[in-house]
Amino acid sequence: MSKPLFNKLALIGIGLIGSSIARVARQEGLAGTISAATRRKETADEARALGIVDEIGTDNAAAVRDADFVILCTPVGANAEAMAQIAPHLKQGAIVSDVGSVKQAVIRDVGPLSPQGVHFVPAHPVAGTEHSGPSAGFPELFKGRWCIVTPIPGSDRAAVDKVIEFWRRCGSDMEEMAADHHDKILAITSHLPHLIAYTIVGTATDLEDDIKSEVIKFAAGGFRDFTRIAASDPTMWRDVFLNNKEAVLEMLGRLSEDLAALQRNIRWGEGDKLYELFERTRAIRRELIDAKQA
């Protein structure tokens, strides 16, 4: 076990991501003490029973007292309220980070609430599952997965490096980029696929009853994979789409054009065009496997 990076780590939110951080931080000895706060008492009781943190309650301000590293692990739309609650109680020199799947909106809403002498370093571990809550977490969640840090221009380099070191010790591969670039990349690699899954499963549930029951019965293959993605947390994903509006709408526009072209290929029996596309997409899958991202 390595020397702790922080004396006290405070997690605001202890769902899938917060509880996975708590588990890996404890396993790797990344903090002397780990405290956490969550919105509802039931969630606090669940986390306490799991024994993954030293202190847990429903008071955000109490959780951050004396903490030198605070991570907001709440849905993107709840981050600003959490920051407003903890701001007056943050220790001078403390680092505050987050795990939000969208970065520009977090910087816009949370950044200005960060007090003088506190370093706000936004980050996004690109790792997750369709499950939520403290019991869904596990310490290996971030292992071999990317974590993207999107520092605000002019931020304290030592604080940024410390956040990078923390995630490295959690097992992540690190990348640094501008927030707008992050939001564009994630719109196509993560947000749009989720939107497509929500749509397909939604369309199936709107079918007439007799067809719908057959869809469930013969769900094997493609549809089943979409249902897994479409089971992802509704609050988290509502907040992602509302907070990455511009990039998602741009990618959705491109997708609509490509879909219209495919529609035309099928209508006019243009098999060579379909084949060409499917061959190209199969090569992408092979590249992904080679890059160990499959």
Which residue ranges make up the site for ligand NAP (CB under 6 A)? 13-18, 38-40, 43, 73-76, 78, 99-101, 125, 128, 132-133, 233, 235-236
Are the beta carbons of 231 and 130 closer than 8 angstroms? yes
Nearer to ligand NAP, 228 or 286 (CB): 228
Are the beta carbons of 152 and 95 closer than 8 angstroms? no
- Tell me how far, at minimum, the Cβ of 42 lies from ligand NAP, in Å: 7
- Tell me how far, at minimum, the Cβ of 116 lies from ligand NAP, in Å: 26
Nearer to ligand NAP, 156 or 173 (CB): 173
- Tell me how far, at minimum, the Cβ of 89 lies from ligand NAP, in Å: 17
Query: Interhelix angle for 234-243 vs 192-205, to 10°?
Result: 120
Sheet arrangement for strand 173-176: 123-125, 146-149, 173-176
Phi (first) and psi of residue 72, to 5 degrees: -80, 115
Nearer to ligand NAP, 90 or 148 (CB): 148
Nearer to ligand NAP, 3 or 105 (CB): 105
Instruction: Render 31-98 in DSSP notation, one character per residue.
Output: EEEEEEE-SSHHHHHHHHHHT-SSEEES-HHHHHTT-SEEEE-S-GGGHHHHHHHHGGGPPTT-EEEE
Nearer to ligand NAP, 4 or 57 (CB): 57
- Tell me how far, at minimum, the Cβ of 20 lies from ligand NAP, in Å: 8
- Tell me how far, at minimum, the Cβ of 280 lies from ligand NAP, in Å: 28
3-state secondary structure 120-139: EECEEECCCCCCCCHHHCCC
